[in-house]
Structure 1
């Protein structure tokens, strides 16, 4: 059959089939890329600073709509309520997040037997490589700005030593600090105290800023686009199959003509149709 496939028209047909298959493969890659793209881009509104007390309420669940929102708040730190969260990366190095309790001025009071007089929120103030580099938070009234993030889950089967926490978990910190808190935390970007920015980004000491940017939405699989990508692969294979099938049909026609010529030159008692069919099957399927 290779002799038939090497005919000029079938060589041209193969080139055309390969080109069509290549286009189909490119279309498949494009559809596959669309199947894993996030449907919603990063919301630029999260970069507009909003007042914390108007954005999130204590004593409630953390709504996903306010996650990553830049917020501002006025209040004071409690230097006695500060923990280090280990296992945090910064430029490839492993260190600690410094997390301090921040009493929010004007925050709604939470009612209940175990509620504290003031409402607090954990603030991740920066990253340190050595626990000894974690200084005390700014004193006095502080105007805080940072990114609002949902509470992390505490690590199971862990018992952190005093001054440590397994995660920035509100549930864990409430038990440690014994205060009422918001259902999330703030990654600080600025801490204005007495007119000066005392944040890690402004001071430039051993404590480094966290630099947490807005997080893109989780990728979702678009099953329709994924199906289309597989469909284009099938089409690519089908284009080559059609070429092969046409070559095979041409090969069979050549054999039939050759066998008919042999029969007319050497007739036999066997009917022409039967003889041709038997010899054809032997050559096509030896």
Structure 2
């Protein structure tokens, strides 16, 4: 058996002075991860849409690199920038995600379906192809999934299918990159961010009434009685990036206040 030094259980979070890449780092959850990582003394590189970067105060990050996950050329250019900067990553979080409204399959706009699948599944897979070349020893990856693919949310065929596909990618990539690297996913339920109001990059506000669903009705179905806030999701992400999670890989962790309970 390989000898392992015991983890430092006082620090069940990402290591200070490590380097973190957050793809989708200007969205609600992604930016929350960025802020907490910076507060912990982590060097952070953010990739996101140029318009999203312009809307955030990202002056404290090491580098901002514009990328559109729907466009392979844009992804290639983003990682060419990583190459030119000579960066390796100790941790990677892909927290990007968007949908184009709610529409039943019977009347589904296939062009919108393709767009959402491209940005939420195809793009992250291409990004993972490239990022694997820039991982330091024992680097950890966390992908942001969703409970929607498991609970059958009416109208979210593209988003649910894409994120369910990302769950499969999590398991497959974990097997492919082991034992050198760990890959896991966090699957939140509804989170109080701009996403539930139309999406941050689309100009949606981060507070106010939700556009996508009835919050009061949603909360009645949650055993813990409320919708998640950003911190409820950031904590598990940072834990999975820590040494305390060193024996966890290939898992999709559901963070939803009990709204979905499963093995």
TM-score (norm 1): 0.21
Larger RCO (alpha carbons 8 Å, 6+ apart): 1
Larger Rg: 1
